[in-house]
Each structure stands twice: as C-alpha cells, then as structure tokens.
Amino acid sequence: MTAVEERPAGDRADSRTPLLSARNLVQEFPVRAAGGVKGGVVHAVSDVSFDIYPGETLGVVGETGSGKSTLARSVIQLPRPKSGVVEFQGKDLMTLGRRELKESRRQMQMVYQDPFGSLNPRWRVTEVVEEPLVGHGWGTTTSRRRRVEELLDLVGLDPSQYAKRRPFELSGGQCQRVAIARAIALEPALIVADEAVSSLDVLIQAQVLNLFEKLRREMNLSYLFIAHDLAMVKQVSDRVAVMYLGQLAEIGPSEAMYRSPLHPYTSALLDSIPRVDPLTGKAHRPVALPGEPPSPIEPPSGCRFRTRCPRAQIKCAEEAPALVEHQPGHRVACHFPLDLPMPEVPKMTGGATLAPGAVPGESAA
Amino acid sequence: MSKRTATYASGDSGVSEGVIDPVSLGKPSRASAAQPGEPLLVVEDLRVQFTRGGRKINAVNGLSYELTPGSMMAIIGESGSGKSVSSRALMGLLPPTAKITGSVRFEGRELIGMPERDMRALRGGDIAMVFQDPARSLNPTMKIGAQITEAVKLHSDLDKKGAHARAVELLKLVRLPAAERRFHEYPHQLSGGMRQRVMIAIALAGEPRLLIADEATTALDVTTQAQIMELLVELQQRLGMAVIMISHDLGLAASYAQDVVVMYAGRAVEHAPTGTLFANVRMPYTHALLGAIPALDREPHSLFEVTPGQPPDLSALPKGCPFRPRCPNATDKCLDDPPLTEHEPEHWWACWHPVGSGLGNDPGPRAGTGPLDPAVAADDPGLADGPDEAAGPGRHHTPNGEQR
C-alpha cells in the first residue's frame, strides 16, 4: 500500500508501519439446508487485504450482506477467519494463543450498533466502564474508580449524574457514550466501530461523531469505521474501502474516491444517496441502481458486481478483476474502471469483444 | 397552501416490462372526484396524550397541516417528535388509552372519534399505510400471494379468480421480479426490498387515495431505498394518490416530497414547499438538522455543527418553545409559545428569532416574526404565563451562531 502520500500532514513519523495489516482474509460460513444437510457456503469475506496506519481512520461501506461486519469481526478474531493474515502491532493474531490474544485485544476495542443491546441492562454505568479494567487487572479499586470518572468526563457524561445510572435510564446517545468510554478505558490503539452511530438521531449522531473525532485527536486513535452511510463515512475517514459481496471493490483516499470514483459500484452507491445541499437547499434526486445483490452462497463468476454493472463485458464473467492501483493509494478491482472510457460494446450481449487497449494497469496485477 | 411550486423530474425509470395501465386498476379517476383545490386531508390542532405510570406524555401537541390530493408530503423529525404517532392517530391505530383531541378531516369526514366500524372500511381502503419493517408486517406462515388476495377480497367484491388476477396485477405494478412465481413464495424467501414491494402491493389493494409510508425505506440499503422511492413516486403520479412520507432523513424528503413538515416535540415547527424550505431555512431546529447531516463535500475529519442537549422529555415539556433549551437564538421571548405562522407565502414557521433575523441572545421582538395569529398564539395560555421561570439551561452556544 502506498497510501502514505495521500494522508494528511501532521501525522506521526511512525505512520509508515501499519498498525493493522490484513492480508487475504477469508471468512466462510457453512449453511445447512432442510434436514441438516450441507446446503452450501456463504462467502462472507473473500480475499480482502488492507492496512490501517496509526492515527488513521479507514471507513468501510457496502450494502447489507456485503461482509462489512464479518470483516470487522474477523479482524478482532471473533470468530477467527478461515484463512489469511491479520498482523496487529507486529503480531500475527491468527497464530496467537488465547492468553496472548487477550493481551492484543486490549489494544483493539469494539463499539457496536445497538447501544442498549451492547450494555448489560442490570449493571450501573460505573460497572460497565470498569469491566475492561477489571478484566485486564488494571490498578486498584480506588484508582479504577478514579479512572472511570475520568473516562465519563472524557465522553461528556457528568460522573456525578450518570455513574450510578443503569442503561435504561439513559438515552441512546448517552448509552453509546458509555460504550465508547468502555472501549477507550484501556487506551487502545484501534477502535472498531461497527455502525456505531447508525441507530442515533441526526443531532445526537453529530455529537457522537464529534466525540470520536476528539478522541482521535487526543489519543491518536485509529478507527476501522463501518457504516452504510457513505456521506458519513467520508466525513470521518482518511481512506474508504467499498465492499461488494465479500470483496473489496475499491479502496482509496476518501476525497479522491468521492470526487472521482473508479468502480462503477462506488459510483452507483454515490448516486443513490438522497441528499440536500445545506447551503443552497438544492436536493439531489437519487438514481437507483437496478437489481439486488446476488446470493453470497453462489456469487457470480468473475467480477461479482457484473450482474448489475452497466459496463459489464464478457471478460467480467470470465475473469475476476484484481485490485489494481490506479492512482497513488487508490486501488480498484474492475476491468473497465471509470477513469477509462466506456467500453465500446456496452452490454454482455453475444459476440462482445474486449474493449481495445483497456486497462493498462492490468498487467501489473 | 394549495398552489404547488415544486415539480418532479419525470419518474421514468426505463423499465416497462410488467407494467400495467392504471386504468385496469379499477377506478383511477376517483381521486379527482374531490373538488379541485379542496385538500384531501386537513389536520387541525391534533393532540395525542398517553398516560403511563401516572405521567402524562404529550406525544403530539397541536399539529396542523393540509394535504392536497395527489401530492407527496414529508413529515420529518427525530425519534419522539410525534411524526409516527400523529399518523397512527389519524389511521385510528393507537391504543384506546391514548387521548386524542383535535380534528382530522379526510375528504370532509371527521376521523377522530369515528366509529371503529367506519374506520375499518376506510383503513386499508381509502387510507393505507406501509410500515418500516416489512418482515414483521407480513405473515411469515402465509404465501405472499394469499396475503395480497386477502387484502383484495376485503376491499372489492371480486370472486376468487378475479382476486387472484388482481393480486398478480398488483405484484406487477410494484415491479416484483417474476411476479407469478413469487406469488407462491413465503416472505422469508424474499429480500427486504422485495418484501417492501409486497407491502406496497397490499397497501394498493384498496385503491387508496392516501398512502402513509412510515419510514418505509429506513431499513433498506441506499440502493434499494432509491428503487422503492422511485416506485412510490411513480405510483403516486400514475394513480393520483397522495403520499405522506414519514422520515428522519432530510435528504430523502428534499429529494422526493413536494411539501415538508418539520416536527419537534410533537408539533410542526416549520412547513413549506420543499424548494422554499431548503433554500431558506428559518427555524433554528431545521437549520441545526441540516448542519448535523454528513455531507459529501465536507473535508475528512471536519467536525459537525453540534446542537447541545437532547430532545425534551415529553412528559415535562419546557415552557414556551420546546427547542428553546437547545436553541442558539433563544431569548426570554421564547418563553412565550411561538405560533406556527405563515410568515412568507406558503412558508410557515414557529419561531420568534428565525435564522436570518439577526443575532440571537437579544430579548425583545425583532424583525421577521411577522403578524401573529392570536388564535393560534393563545392555544395554550397555561404555557404563556408565569414569567418567573428563569431562562434556565437555555443559551447554549454552538461552534458559531452563524446566520444566513
């Protein structure tokens, strides 16, 4: 990965060594058909590689079932992926034993979507936030109490008012702040946020996103930020990865990708966001991408997006496109990416030939 | 509020296969039976109150709007703003413990207090509703064809064969791929987007003149959401059906609706044709919403404009304007309840110090508030008196109290 050039100035010098580097991650789940016979395999994550640098936010977007959450869980080894390498702070998590894995997990924490579901309803806020400290044998009872107050302060909850409450006495946004306090209790290097603000109302969502940003600046946190809202992901991420049916379609610096997406799927996703310009009040009427994602049990041959792609050709069915670097740090898995002219034969109709001279970067793969 | 300024881009999506003519759907011209210019739905001072554990929860507090036949209106707001409760109230879907007052007239007929028997004929017939979660709205043990046929039989006197044909027709109308085959499938065999299409088909079975879509696309992916919204707009235009779209998504409302009502704490705080509203937002709450939505043109790691605090507790609403404790423009004047007033042609807002009226934090009346309607202003005198309550937690500041 040569994404380094694209990353904002002011980053630490150690940013060239990735904090987390995943290589060829594969996660599959067998499904049982009626009667318990083996029904097939869900290809949830297929051959995904990416890096996260210290202090960097990598956003992951994609539709339901694209494997975003499975990817996040594979990274933290819950459950362990089927194959691949996950190197975190120089250690390959795939080969670590239970005890060493626990040590490593101290440095990577997760924040989930459902703020109520991820907090024990019978515990008080203090207990929830203290738990990781207890679990990792951090400090004494008094020092832990002090730390909890510090943490609650940091996430914007007044300890005197909230420490003794239980989750049902909090609003969704406050619960999510508690979950964040718990996640940062051990001063992790990486936070995996899986749709962490999706269930919040827009004004509360903005508060929590600003909290994430504040923590990033103060603690030099890295994020793996998973969401389905492309606009939100762009605003919080240095780089964005677009997933489709378990594979990376495109990964690159967020500015560049949103300005000129290379994969037809990224472009279609961007076109389907309904939005309004806050300055002019002009609305952008979405353009619908036809069709639905195919089943991850039997993904299409070749490029998995070809069944919905307006640029698909015969080649797309025959050969899976590799993730190729087109611009510095901007890689795309497409035979006919958008920085090249539209292929001459627009549809996968019979007798289609390959567009002449297409994909110069292809041979580099 | 009768003249429509917003127009649609043509809703043509290039798919013609399987589409049937609306004429074959029975009485498509019924919608135009109402006198021109006559609103289809008039909601006046609607209030809904629940009592839970001795506490009175004021879910809707004096909501008023009108809906033109065949138009699409969006009601937007956060959770607890009363957007869903108000539409359930007019459908007669609230539990009997809910105390509903005010008036809702549908084609001149009063819906509040209507006998259940009459309501039942109307519900699913002239007024239909599509909910957020299609998986929970459909019966998992019944084939989807049977569920649609059931709805068709309920609202027409077609025989078995006719109802079947009509049901398949409806499935084609909502563009369910391979409609004949899907007819014999169960809900779990369909994707979320397809299930929502089935729900829309069931809603259309009674040839409604008003369809209420309550967060109908919220559970769907953006790509599927765009497909379903395109379908709704197309059906609205072809069948002359009015649509109330309830959503928390400003972008979605701005993209599809002709009129937008912004709700906060159970009341409408701003109401205008979409183009007017978003080009000239006046209510600080709407302004805050716009500032808080992520935008594609913002820099990575840029901060969001933050509104402090949380929506008010509906059992203990603040005195005066409900947005006062969070509003950057709030003054002591805001302890008086601002009425929803038509300050500019077709543009209604309920605020003493709207965006663009000058700086906030400055008591006293100011320009831009326009003529007051005493009838509306006095709607709750209990809230207006007793000026001894200090401004309290009001006057938080936002990163910049920037005005446009």
pLDDT of residue B36: 58
**Interfacial B residues in 303-362 facing A (CB < 8 Å):** 303-308, 310-311
ipTM above 0.85, yes or no: no
Question: Considering its fold, how many domains does chain A have in total?
Answer: 2
**Interfacial A residues in 139-178 facing B (CB < 8 Å):** 171-173
**pLDDT tens across the length of chain A (365 residues):** 444 444 444 444 445 789 999 999 999 998 877 777 777 888 999 999 999 999 999 999 988 888 899 999 999 998 899 999 999 999 999 999 989 998 999 999 999 888 888 899 999 999 999 999 999 988 899 999 999 999 999 898 889 989 999 998 888 888 999 999 999 999 999 999 998 988 888 888 898 999 999 999 998 999 999 998 888 898 899 999 999 999 999 999 999 998 899 999 999 998 888 888 766 777 888 888 888 888 888 899 999 999 999 889 999 999 999 999 998 899 999 999 988 776 665 444 433 333 333 333 333 33
Question: Is A344 inside any structural domain?
Answer: no
Name the residue among A201, A205, A273 with its Cβ closest to that of B222: A273
Which of A111, A94, A151, A109 has its CA nearest to residue A127? Answer: A151
Q: pLDDT band for position B102 (50/70/90)? A: very high
Q: DSSP string of B341-392?
A: EEEETTEEE--SS-TTSS-SS--S--TT-----HHHHTT-HHHH--TTS--T
Q: What are the structure tokens assigned to A360, written together? A: 């110069």
Q: What are the structure tokens assigned to B75, written together? A: 């009601």
**Residue A283 and residue A244 share a domain:** yes
Helix (H) or strand (E) holding B73: strand B72-76
**Residue A130 and residue A256 share a domain:** no
Which residues does chain B have within 8 Å of residue A11's beta carbon, measured at their own beta carbons? none
Mutate to test the interface with A, among B8, B78, B222 (most CBs of A within 10 A): B222
Better pLDDT: A43 or B21: A43
**Residue A134 and residue A98 share a domain:** no
Check CB contact of A240 with chain B, cutoff 8 Å: no
**Residue A125 and residue A265 share a domain:** no
**Residue A196 and residue A145 share a domain:** no
A202/B222 CB distance under 8 A: no
pLDDT of residue B308: 85
Is the per-residue pLDDT at B67 higher than 80?
yes
The domain boundary, picked from A301, A331, A354, lies at A301
Mutate to test the interface with A, among B230, B285, B304 (most CBs of A within 10 A): B304
Which residues have C-beta within 8 Å of that of residue A153, sequence separation ≥ 6?
Answer: A159
CB A241 within 8 A of CB A22: no
Which residues have C-beta within 8 Å of that of residue B17, sequence separation ≥ 6?
Answer: none
Q: Which domain holds residue A172?
A: 119-187
Which residues does chain A have within 8 Å of residue B186's beta carbon, measured at their own beta carbons? none
Question: Is A347 inside any structural domain?
Answer: no
Mean pLDDT of B239-260: 92
Name the residue among A210, A273, A284 with its Cβ closest to that of B303: A210
Residue A213 belongs to domain with CATH number: 3.40.50.300
Which residues does chain B have within 8 Å of residue A281's beta carbon, measured at their own beta carbons? 254, 275, 277-281
Model pTM score: 0.79
**Residue A292 and residue A202 share a domain:** yes
**Residue A96 and residue A223 share a domain:** yes
**Residue A208 and residue A176 share a domain:** no
Which residues does chain A have within 8 Å of residue B221's beta carbon, measured at their own beta carbons? 63-64, 228
Question: Is A45 inside any structural domain?
Answer: yes
**Residue A216 and residue A289 share a domain:** yes
Which residues does chain A have within 8 Å of residue B292's beta carbon, measured at their own beta carbons? 202-203, 205-206
Domain ranges of chain B: 280-404
Better pLDDT: A362 or B242: B242
Helix (H) or strand (E) holding A128: helix A125-135
Is the per-residue pLDDT at B146 higher than 90?
yes
Rounded Cα distance, B384 and B386, in Å: 7
**Residue A203 and residue A157 share a domain:** no
pLDDT of residue A7: 42
Question: Is A5 inside any structural domain?
Answer: no
**Residue A61 and residue A30 share a domain:** yes
Name the residue among A202, A236, A290 with its Cβ closest to that of B289: A202
What is chain B's mean pLDDT, rounded?
79
Question: Is A3 inside any structural domain?
Answer: no
Is the per-residue pLDDT at B398 higher than 80?
no
Name the residue among B222, B297, B301 with its Cβ closest to that of A236: B301
Check CB contact of B255 with chain A, cutoff 8 Å: yes
The domain boundary, picked from A166, A187, A208, lies at A187
**Residue A220 and residue A263 share a domain:** yes
Question: Is A356 inside any structural domain?
Answer: no
Dihedral sign for Cα atoms in the order B122, B125, B129, B133: positive
- In angstroms, the separation between the Cα of residue B274 and the nearest Cα of chain A is 9
The domain boundary, picked from A301, A318, A353, lies at A301
Mean pLDDT of B51-62: 89
